[in-house]
Structure 1
Amino acid sequence: MSKVIAVLAAASLAVGLPMGASAQQKLVVAGYGGSFEDIMRRDVFPPFAKQHGVEFDYMAGNSTNTVARLQAQRSNQQVDVAIIDDGPMYQAIALGFCAPIQNLPKQDLYETALYKDDKAVAIGIVATGIMYNKKAFDEKKWEPPASWDDLKDPRYKQQLVIPPLNNTYGLHTLVQYARAAGGGETNIDPGFTTIEKEVGPNVLVYEPSPGKMTELFSSGQASIAVWGSGRVKAFADTGFPVGFVYPKEGAYALLSSVCPVAKDKSHPLAQAFVQYLVSPEVQTLLASSYGYGPVNRKAQAQDDPNVPLPIGERAEKLIVIDWDTVNQNRDAWNRRWTREIER
C-alpha cells in the first residue's frame, strides 16, 4: 500500500497546480458509496491531501442523490467536485452545475471520456451486465447466465436483485428489455411490460445500496443480479465467489464521470483534483482496485481472472444509450416505475 501512496503522491505533484491550500479548508467531494468510497478514502485521497495540505469531506450517495444535493444547494453550493454517472451528469451540466475543466490532458484521454465544452470528464468505464454466485450455481448444477432473457427463468424466483430505475444499472435493464421487445428509448412501454410480467416475479428486491447488494449475496438470499463490472470486481476481491457475464445481446456502457462544481467561490484545488483523477497513476489504481476500464491511454490495465473488465474489444462492444431521450423522460419513467414495478 505504501508503494501505491508514493506513486499517487507523485501523480498529485505532476498536476502542477496550487500548493498553498489551507489545511482548514476542506475539499468537498460527492460520489458513490460502498467499495468505491473505500478506495477513495484509503488510496486516492491520502496522497493528494498530503501533497496539497487539504482535508477531504466525502458525501456518499448514488448519482441521483448527488444531483438532488446540487439542486438543493443551488444558492449555496457546498460540493466542490461531483462524481456522477454519465446520464445524471448530462442533467447536472444542463442545469448549470458543472464548470469547465481547465488544462485537461485531452491528448492522453480516449475520446469517449470527453464531454462537450469540457464540462465533465469520465474517470472510468463500467459495463452493466449480470453478476451471479458461482458457488451457488455450481451446487445447483446451473449453467452460468448468458443472456438478458435468462433473468426471466423461473429457477431464479425470489433470488434476483435489480437496482431501481433511479440507478443507472436499473435504467440499462429497462432499456434492454424495451429494445428486445421492439421498443427502445423512444418507446419504453415494452420494457415496463417485460419487467412487470416476466422478470419481476423473480425479483427479491429492487436494491440501490451497494452494501445491501453484497449483503444479500453473502447471506445467500440472492444468487443473481444486474450490476456493474467495477462493483462486481470489488466484491470478488473480498473473496466472495461471484462471476460477471457480458450478456450475448450486449452489456451496457456506464461512464463514471467527474466535474468541478460551478460556484461563486471555487475551491482552489477542485480543478487539480479532477486532473489528478484522470492521471495515469490514478487510472491504473481504479482499474486494478475497482475494475474500471481506464480512460487514460497511459494507464496500465490488466484483465482480472475472476471478473472480465471492460477493456479492449469488450469495451468497444458496449452499448451506449440515448441519454438525451432518456433524460427528457426519466422523471415520468421513475414515477411509472414506482407505480407499476415497485408498488
Structure 2
Amino acid sequence: MKPFSLLTAVGIAALAALPSDVSAQQKTLYVAGYGGSFEKTIRDEVIPAFEQANGVKVEYVAGNSTDTLAKLQAQKGNQQIDVVIVDDGPMYQAIQLGFCAKVEGVPADLYDAARFKDDRAVGTGLVATGLMYNTKIFAEKGWAPPTSWNDLKDLKYQNKLVIPPINNTYGLHALLMLARMNGGSESNVDAGFKIFKDEINPNVLAYEPSPGKMTELFQSGQAVLAVWGSGRVQSFANTGFPVDFVYPKEGAATLLTAACPIAKPNASPLASSFIQKLLDPKIQLVLLKDYGYGPVLKSLAVPPELGKMAPIGERAAKLYTPDWSIMNDKREEWTKRWNREVER
C-alpha cells in the first residue's frame, strides 16, 4: 500500500517545506476520518471555524476505519496524518501499536464509555448497532417492525437482507450478539458463525460494507432489512427516505466513534485542539442532529426533538459494550473463517 496516496501534491510540498518548529508554525493539519454524511458535517460545521480561529488549513482525508488504520501502519516512522477519527475497535489497535499521543484538554464530564486509558484517545460520539428497515414496504406488506436479532433468520426476508461483512464493525457486532444470545461470548463466537451459515445466509442479498451501496440497495427496493448503525440510519432518514432504526430486545451493541492525535516528532498542538472542537457542546448537538451520534458529555442537555434514534438516556444505558481487547486479537482469524464459511 502506498503511504497516504490521497495527499495532494500541494499538501506533500507543504509538508516538505515545514520548518523544524512544526508545532509553532504548521499551517496545514491533516485529519483522516469517515466519509459520506459525516465528512460533509465536519467540512460544513467544524473545519471553517477551526481554520479561521487557528490560522491553519485543514486537509480532510476520507476513508473507513480499517483504511485509516492501514494508512497509519503504512506511514510508520513518517506519519503525515495529525488526527484520526475511527471506530473504537480500530482505535484500540492504533493505541496498542503506539500511534496515538495523549489528548490534551479532555472534558471532566465525559461518560466513562468515552474514555480511553491514559487519554490516548477520546470518544466523540455514541452509536448503537441494531436493525434498519424500510417502514413503507413493511407497512404495505402488513409486516410488523423487527424486534430481535432473530428476525434476521425470518425467511420472508429472503434475498432482501443486507449485512456488512465482519471486517466492518456492524457485521462483527451482529456476529457477536448472535453468539451471546446462544451461549457464546467474545472468546467463543461459534454459535454466531453457525447461525449465519445455516439460518441467515439464505436471506442475504449482499454482505455490503459501503454506506453508499447500502443506501442504494434500499432506494432501489432490493433490500428492506439491514444491520446498521443508528447514526447511519438517522442520516439516511434525514434525506426523507422511509427507514427506522430498531434496538433489538436482546440488546444493541455499542459503537464508539473516537479521535486521537497522532504521536510523532514535533506534533502540532492543534491536533488536540481539533479534537476538543469535536467535543464542544455545540458540535456535539450538530453531530446528534445531522448524524445521530449520542453525545459523550454528561452535562449536555438534549432537546426532545433531537436524537430520535440515537443512544441517549435509557437506550444508552442498555447498550452492550464489547470487549475489544479480546476481539482485536481474534479478528483476523474470524475474518478468514468468515470468508471460508459464510461469505463465499
Q: Normalising by the residue count of structure 1, what TM-score does the alignment of the two structures yield?
A: 0.90
Structure 1 counterpart of 2:117, which letter?
K
Deviations 1:103-147, CA, capped at 9 Å, x for gaps = 222x22122211100000000000111000000111111110000
| Cα distance in 1 between the residues matched to 2:338 and 2:305 | 35
Residues 23 and 54 in structure 1, CA contact (< 8 A), matched pair in contact too: no
Question: Contact conserved, 1:63 with 1:85, CA < 8 A, in 2?
Answer: yes
User: What is the alpha-carbon distance in structure 2 between the residues aligned to residue 211 and residue 23 of structure 1?
Assistant: 38
Q: Which amino acid aligns with 1:140?
A: K
Q: Deviations over 1:289-340 (max 9, x none)?
A: 1111101134342355894320001001000111111011111111111222
Unaligned runs of 5+ in 2: 1-21
- Cα deviation per residue 1:187-234 (whole Å; 9 max; x = unaligned)? 111111111111111111111111111111111111110011011111
Deviates more, 1:230-239 or 1:300-309: 300-309
Name 1:145's counterpart in structure 2. 146
Counterpart of 1:94, as a letter, is Q
Q: State the partner residue of 2:64.
A: 62
Q: 1:50 aligns with which of 49, 52, 76?
A: 52
Contact 2:102 / 2:121 at 8 angstroms: preserved in 1? Answer: yes
For 2:77 and 2:29, locate their aligned partners in 1 and report how far apart those are by CA, in whole Å. 18
The 10-residue stretch of structure 1 (233-242 or 23-32) with the greater mean CA deviation from structure 2: 23-32
Aligned to 1:311: 312
* Maintained 8 Å contact 2:39/2:62: yes
The structure 2 residue matched to 1:103, chosen from 102, 105, 115, is: 105
Unpaired segments of 5 or more residues in structure 1? 1-19
Contact 1:128 1:226 in 2 (8 A): yes
Q: Percent identity?
A: 58
Q: Answer yes or no: is the 8 Å Cα contact 2:147–2:247 preserved in 1.
A: yes
Match of 1:74 in 2: 76
Counterpart Cα distance in 1 of 2:76 and 2:229:
30
Q: Which amino acid aligns with 1:57?
A: E
Q: Report the residue type matching 1:98 in the other structure.
A: C
Structure 2 CA distance for aligned equivalents of residues 155 and 341 of structure 1:
20
CA contact (8 A) 1:98 1:260 kept: yes
Partner of 1:323: 324
RMSD: 1.7
Asked if the contact 1:83/1:257 (under 8 Å) is kept, the reply is yes
Number of the residue aligned with 2:4: none
Match of residue 343 from structure 2: 342
In 2, are the aligned partners of 1:232 and 1:307 still within 8 Å (CA)? Answer: no
1:1-343 alignment, distance < 5 Å: 25-105=27-107, 107-303=108-304, 307-343=308-344
Moved over 6 A (4+): 20-24
Aligned residue for 1:108, secondary structure, equals coil
**Aligned partners of 2:90 and 2:322: how far apart in 1?**
13
